[in-house]
Structure 1
Amino acid sequence: MKVRACIRKVVSMRLTKYRIIVIFFIVLSQAVFGFIFVLRKMDFLEHKVKPTIPAPDRDINQVFCTFQSLSKEKSLEERLLLDSIAWPETPVLLDPLSLEQTSDPAHSKFIILPGRGGGRWHVGDQLEIMIKMYDFQGRPKKSGGDVVLTQLHNLKLGAGVAGQVVDHLNGSYSAVFSLLWEGSAQVEVTLVHPSEAVTVLRRLTSEQPDRVYFQSLFRSGSLSETTTCNVCLRPTQQPLCNYTDLRTGEPWFCYKPKNLNCDARISHSMGGFNQNLKAEEEKLFQSGVNMKVSIQASGPANVTVLPKKKGKPEVKSSSVKSGPSGYYYQGAWRALGGTMVNQFNTSSAINQCLKGKKVHLYGDSTIRQWFEHLNAALPDLKEFNLHSPKQVGPFMALDYANNILVTYRCHGPPLRFGNVPATELRYIANELDGLTGGSNTVVVIGIWSHFSTFPMELYIQRLQSIRRAVVRLLVRAPGTLVVIRTANLKALTLYETLTNSDWYSLQRDKVLRAVFKGLNVHLVDAWEMSLAHHLPHSLHPQPPIIKNMIDVLLSYICPQKGG
């Protein structure tokens, strides 16, 4: 019995020993697994680019364009912004489309209303007009939604101001002008798009957000491949390279090359444009017929403005859209409220204003115009040869004697430039986070045109990201001057309309203003500055308009005492 007890004791001790060994190896294996997991996680964080598993085939009509999930607060803001730009619905179009039932500027008319003065107007008064839309058969329209622009001008005086249009949703529109100069004032009304064309533009964005597409070149040694890239890529069996920015969450994808990995991306470029317009829909986008065509007056189209009555207050703009932000007189832009706009007509005046300043310009080619203007206006500002592509940048110019630095960098994708090195694809928010800022720093931001064909949610989220970076910059360096350039009008061909219509720009202009409202930033109202000027609309405004924009910028940098 004692022998059996001893044997059982020995066996029990050995089993305990083996259990300890087994438990030890289990714990060790879990630790190793955890360590490998951490390493993989670190590898993911260190290498931002990883191919994703291809999504299964889905119905082509199913939404394939998704964005980062938002917090409850950001989601609410997005909803409010989308509601604020809601456009009147157009009655269902006939199939096939009948041009005869759409808005026709040739049949449409406007009339100047007599106003309180019984047909006599003074400086400081408001002039109101009524616009009535008719179709091609001369029948009055019963719904709203047309894109209408109005302007008051006097070419001899170099004067002009934009009108504020109200859609009454029944085929009629009213517009109000502030009367700001003595003498003749000519009313001009333009139909940019009939409401039926807006319906098509909305459909294109909803159904084909990828109709403008991009490409990237991948290269390793002698092997190179080019694939399609976009914010939204239709699901295929081909894996994706995910270039979503880890800091901002900005989405960007490319189809993965067959024989190269995602880290081999060399460049970004505009790929092309799929028109995807039904043949009968082209009728809605005809230059000289129903796209950016003047509407004539029923009666006089001009009034004579008498001197201001004694005791009448000056015209002011209490907010951006309650009235005009400014007007032209003798070719110079005059602000209504806020900072007084001074004229910087000599290089010495510009030099004196920018002395000791760093001016950082971020955005698209309309911001690049500002860099080019300053570079040409200041003889002592010498541009460094960074061997950058002419369209793309980055650019840098320095006036060593006056301690002036001016830089330009394009915003991140979507970007319709010809060929951008992948290393130069930078998001504005990340660039702002890299600035020290301070009273010697000026930041200018202009971002709108390249987002026209994409869902508004993408643009809103980009602006929100930039706004957060602006807030961080102003917190750590309150003296930094931040200036936002708004969208502007442009000449419209069929291609320009489908990719960059004034309606697309108008919607983004409204969102841009709303996102930055309430921040300590300044606006350069490129929309009204291009609308109120007598020069033809252009994606890249002509030099006289750019000069006025630069005068506004410099007036923010160097405000006149008491202004």
Structure 2
Amino acid sequence: MKTISIFSRPAAVTLSTDMHYDFCKLKPLSPKEAQEEDLLLESITWPETPPLSFPLSLEKTSDPDHSTFTILPKRGGGQWRIGDKLEVMINMKDFQGRPKKFGGDVLLARLHNPTIGAGVAGEVVDHLNGSYTAVFLLLWKGSAQVTLVHPSEAVMELRRLNREHPDRIFFKSVFQSGSVTETTTCNICLRPTQKSLCNFTDLHTGEPWFCYKPDNLSCDYKRQSFSLFYSPQQKEGTIFFSSWKMLHCCVLAIQHFLGHHSLKGKVVHMYGDSTIRQWFEHLTATLPDLKEFDLNSEKQAGPFMALNFTHNIMVKYCCHGPPLRSTTVPAIEMHYIANELDNMVGGSKTVVVLGIWAHFATFPLEFYIRRMLSIRRAVVRLLSRAPDTLVVIRTGNPKSLTCFLHSSTNSDWYTLQQLKVLKAIFKGLNVHLVNAWEMVIAHHLPQELHPQPPIIKNMINVLLSTATP
């Protein structure tokens, strides 16, 4: 089983210029906000890899087949017992068997026991010298797996792609007036051309969004949006070993709560991407008498609404505002989450579920940070006027990386960086995080962008247990 990603550099790319700032300028922040952004970026600093020589040789990158692991002796000696911590030393080597001298590889550790249906995520410590320690708490006998998702060299390429080519996914919008339609390119930032720009920056949140102006129509006739994909191959590897099992902070054996009891008399507002739409679909498929009301919405983007009159339950889903990679979506249905929260009364009968991550992977992390800071400010305002409102946030999760397109646009490294930022931004607030990252790592099912139903069920059980009076 291979999960190592190596990137070939596109032919016509300038190697070291920071093109991101040349055409994609960030809005100035207040001194306080700028300091917070700097601290967030500093907190997720990834180990630097020595400058790469081009053409890049695969032989010099991390190879799981040549890498080794060693179970370290128990601290204090003796045999391991339930409750002890098992430490495994991982020494990374390249394809020629030479030890790596620096860190920065993306490694995921998990332990699962299919026989008893339990699994948890492990902790990996980077020693910055080519060696790593995986730490597991011994709770029962079983097996463990450490996966090399990206070698450190690939991380540098992923970072370069986001800074030099944040527009490598092309978004399109349709402008229509009567029988006249025109389609133009849109994005958070656009490269300068002879065309004029339509500025659709949100007046309340300040979230940027621009389109090239149509040749014959005004900017007022923007009707719908959709996106096209482009991204420039990848190889993949896994390190396996046998040991015990661990429990980190994510337990999959969660007590099941009846949805009707948990949500009785409540309105559940779900905002986010398709991984939150999965929650809506699961609830409507599994809760008796929760019936979807047909709004004639586009299947992928919504909006959707489901009702249960017997128990006075309403569940609603709306996709978040751009950027959004989807099929055609009416522009009027793309809502910025902060605006939605500011228009909400809130209270003990209100549940807010948020999930926003996958569609920001191709942009420099500053854009994700600013979107989440905007949402945090709205959450603070909501909880200030209605402190008994329940706010639940779903984190991103690892995915299957089967080709270069997936790796360069949905890399787990991007998601891991977002996860760290998300935790830091909402730390100390009265919000509940559903750690989808660890829940997916821990599960024996394959990792996918849209986790399989048993994993979604575990997430919903967390939601329902949180919502239980």
Report the TM-score range of the alignment, normalised by the length of the smaller protein. over 0.9
Q: Does 1:481 align with 2:359?
A: no
For the residues of structure 2 that align with 1:234 and 1:274, how far apart are their CA atoms? 17
Question: Which structure 2 residues correspond to residues 150-189 of structure 1 after superposition, within 5 A?
Answer: 150-180=109-139, 182=140, 184-189=141-146
Q: Secondary structure at the match of 2:110?
A: strand
Q: How big is each residue's C-alpha offset from its partner over 1:62-113, in whole Å with a ceiling of 9 and x where there is no partner?
A: 6211122211111000000111111111111121111111100110111221
Question: Which structure 2 residues correspond to residues 204-215 of structure 1 after superposition, within 5 A?
Answer: 204-215=161-172
For the residues of structure 2 that align with 1:151 and 1:221, how far apart are their CA atoms? 56
Q: How big is each residue's C-alpha offset from its partner over 1:514-536, in whole Å with a ceiling of 9 and x where there is no partner?
A: 11111000110100000111111
Q: Secondary structure at the match of 2:458?
A: helix
| Aligned match of 1:101 | 60
For the residues of structure 2 that align with 1:351 and 1:61, how far apart are their CA atoms? 49
Shift of 1:185: 2.1
Change (3 A) 1:207 1:176: same
Q: Aligned match of 2:179 in 208, 222, 235?
A: 222
Is there any run of 5+ residues in structure 1 with no aligned partner, and where?
1-58, 276-281, 306-314, 316-323, 334-341
For the residues of structure 2 that align with 1:387 and 1:120, how far apart are their CA atoms? 63
Shift of 1:121: 2.1
Q: Aligned match of 2:243 in 291, 302, 316?
A: 302
Q: Judge conservation of contact 1:161–1:177 (CA < 8 Å) in 2.
A: no
Change (3 A) 1:407 1:206: same
Amino acid at match of 1:63: D
Q: Aligned match of 2:256 in 343, 349, 353?
A: 343
Q: Secondary structure at the match of 1:520?
A: coil
For the residues of structure 1 that align with 2:240 and 2:442, how far apart are their CA atoms? 18
Shift of 1:117: 5.8
For the residues of structure 2 that align with 1:223 and 1:558, how far apart are their CA atoms? 52
Q: Secondary structure at the match of 1:367?
A: helix
Q: Considering Cα pairs closer than 8 Å and 6+ residues apart, tell me whether 1 or 2 has the greater RCO.
A: 2
Change (3 A) 1:369 1:231: same
Q: Does 1:258 align with 2:190?
A: no
Q: Does 1:543 align with 2:453?
A: yes
| Aligned match of 1:234 | 191
Is there any run of 5+ residues in structure 2 with no aligned partner, and where?
1-17
Q: Judge conservation of contact 2:170–2:227 (CA < 8 Å) in 1.
A: yes
Question: Which structure 2 residues correspond to residues 403-414 of structure 1 after superposition, within 5 A?
Answer: 403-414=312-323
Change (3 A) 1:103 1:257: same
Q: Secondary structure at the match of 2:228?
A: strand
Aligned positions, number:
451
For the residues of structure 1 that align with 2:464 and 2:34, how far apart are their CA atoms? 36
Q: Does 1:201 align with 2:187?
A: no
For the residues of structure 2 that align with 1:262 and 1:387, how far apart are their CA atoms? 27
Change (3 A) 1:398 1:190: same
For the residues of structure 1 that align with 2:28 and 2:123, how far apart are their CA atoms? 36
Q: How big is each residue's C-alpha offset from its partner over 1:239-287, in whole Å with a ceiling of 9 and x where there is no partner?
A: 0000000000000000000100000001011122242xxxxxx4xx21x
Q: Secondary structure at the match of 1:511?
A: helix
For the residues of structure 2 that align with 1:217 and 1:326, how far apart are their CA atoms? 44
Q: Secondary structure at the match of 2:251?
A: strand
| Aligned match of 1:75 | 34
Output the TM-score relative to the length of structure 1: 0.78
Q: Does 1:118 align with 2:118?
A: no
Amino acid at match of 2:417: Q
RMSD value, Cα: 1.6
Q: Does 1:471 align with 2:380?
A: yes
| Aligned match of 1:513 | 423
Q: Judge conservation of contact 1:481–1:521 (CA < 8 Å) in 2.
A: yes
For the residues of structure 2 that align with 1:71 and 1:304, how far apart are their CA atoms? 47
| Aligned match of 2:250 | 326
Report the structure number with the largest CA radius of gyration.
1
Shift of 1:295: 1.0
For the residues of structure 2 that align with 1:94 and 1:67, how far apart are their CA atoms? 31
| Aligned match of 1:19 | none
| Aligned match of 1:271 | 228
Amino acid at match of 1:258: D
Q: Judge conservation of contact 1:215–1:271 (CA < 8 Å) in 2.
A: yes
Identity among equivalent positions (%) equals 64
For the residues of structure 1 that align with 2:439 and 2:453, how far apart are their CA atoms? 12
Amino acid at match of 2:167: D
For the residues of structure 1 that align with 2:76 and 2:451, how far apart are their CA atoms? 37
Shift of 1:206: 1.0
| Aligned match of 2:3 | none
Shift of 1:60: 6.8
Amino acid at match of 2:342: D
Shift of 1:304: 8.4
For the residues of structure 2 that align with 1:116 and 1:60, how far apart are their CA atoms? 50
Q: Does 1:504 align with 2:414?
A: yes
Q: How big is each residue's C-alpha offset from its partner over 1:307-354, in whole Å with a ceiling of 9 and x where there is no partner?
A: xxxxxxxx8xxxxxxxx22233xxx24xxxxxxxx313xxxx211221
Amino acid at match of 2:170: Y
Question: Which structure 2 residues correspond to residues 414-563 of structure 1 after superposition, within 5 A?
Answer: 414-493=323-402, 494-558=404-468
For the residues of structure 2 that align with 1:376 and 1:192, how far apart are their CA atoms? 34
